[in-house]
Amino acid sequence: MKKFLALIVLTMTMALTGIHANADDIHITPINEINSSPANFDGKEVRLKGIAKDVTRIPLINLKSYVLQDNSGEITILTEADLPQMGEEISIRARVDSLAIILGEAIGMTVIELERYQLPIGIKQL
């Protein structure tokens, strides 16, 4: 009974302080997984973490992008938000889309930033 009561108190404390995390918040997708099998990620949201580099802004067509690099590879991210600083470590929630998938191969893959966490969100890459 004491163990059960302790578990209830711990659960309530975590819920009240906002320390709980759901499964979606825990998994950071390695960039190499997306690059090697983009068709598997088409239309899906992913969480990515890495270092921002190669920022690009073309005002005439309102295009902003940057390259996100982790220890498994790098990928170009399109964004409508302000561009990150070069060398800044960020975590993002993004959607992977492909123009077409033909015979299991994705064509025209884009990764669109949906939300950015300026400070690392403290999640270890799996």
The pTM of the full predicted model, rounded to 2 decimals, is: 0.72
In the chain the domains, ranked by start, together with CATH numbers, are 26-117 (2.40.50.140)
Kindly report the length of the chain. 126
- Chain segment 69-114, per-residue pLDDT in tens: 999 999 999 999 999 999 999 999 999 999 998 988 889 999 999 9
Residue 73 burial by CB count (10 A; 0-12/13-18/19+): exposed, middle or buried?
middle
Q: What is the C-alpha separation between 82 and 73, in angstroms, rounded?
A: 23
Helical (H) or strand (E) element with 3: helix 2-17
